[in-house]
Amino acid sequence: MTLLQLLVMLIIAAVCGAIGQSIAGMTRGGCLTSIAVGFIGALLGTWIAQNLGLPEILVITVGDQPFPIVWAILGSALFVALIALMTGRRGPPGAK
């Protein structure tokens, strides 16, 4: 994987993670948090989809690495919702 491919993959993960965080209603953290949530969401979402026998939807291939957009967003939302339930935090600081 080249440096450009890695940067593209990081951008895609950041966007998917940010969308997942928005869906779950917890927007703490910055770009690095969104990237981490996006990658964890891709792993979690793909694992769930495979176990349920669901097809891959909207997969972007960067170099030779596939990145499942829909499952990354859904997995990110699920991951962030679980974190919010465990920590008891909801939304950005100061929100009521």
Distance, in Å, from the CA atom of 66 to the CA atom of 73, rounded to the nearest integer, reads 15
Q: Measuring CA to CA, which residue among 48, 47, 50, 16 is closest to residue 34?
A: 16
* DSSP characters over 7-19: HHHHHHHHHHHHH
Residue 54, Cβ neighbours under 10 Å: how many? 13
* Domain ranges for the chain: 6-85
pLDDT value at 47 more than 90: yes
The confidence score (pLDDT) of residue 90 equals 59
Average pLDDT value for the chain: 87
Structure confidence at residue 87 (pLDDT)? 81
CA–CA gap between residue 78 and residue 84 (Å, rounded): 10
More confident residue, 64 or 29: 64
Helix (H, G, I), strand (E, B) or coil at 65: strand
